[in-house]
Amino acid sequence: MQAIIKGLEKVKQELAASENDGPVSETFRKGRNADALALYFGEDPVRCPFEQVTATLSNFVRLFRKAHEENGKQAELEKKKAQKEAEMENAKGINLTKKGLKD
């Protein structure tokens, strides 16, 4: 565990140092980030070009937003349905109370 922590600290130091290396380093870091992203998702960076990684992520984000929107609409419909049912129960209770008073 100690080795992992030290390794992460070294990576952070190297990243901080490379941020001031200029445009070549910036381009290199961007390429490495794309490779790291492909590896994170279990893809081979050699066979999975940057364009494919970004297209896949873009598609995921689009589908996620669509699903989130649909879930929000479904939750709103369920809320309205529950509210309507509660109003019906209240109306039934009021009608039963009125009938009880008449008898």
Structural domain spans, the chain:
1-48
pTM: 0.50
Indicate the average pLDDT of the chain. Answer: 80
pLDDT higher than threshold 80 for residue 61: yes
What is the distance between the alpha carbons of residues 29 and 26, in angstroms, rounded to a whole number?
5
Q: Poorest-confidence range of 33-37, 43-47, 58-62, 72-76?
A: 33-37
Contact predicate 42/61, CB 8 Å = no
**Helix residue ranges, H only, the chain:** 2-18, 23-40, 50-102
8-39 pLDDT tens trace: 787 777 777 766 666 655 555 566 677 777 78
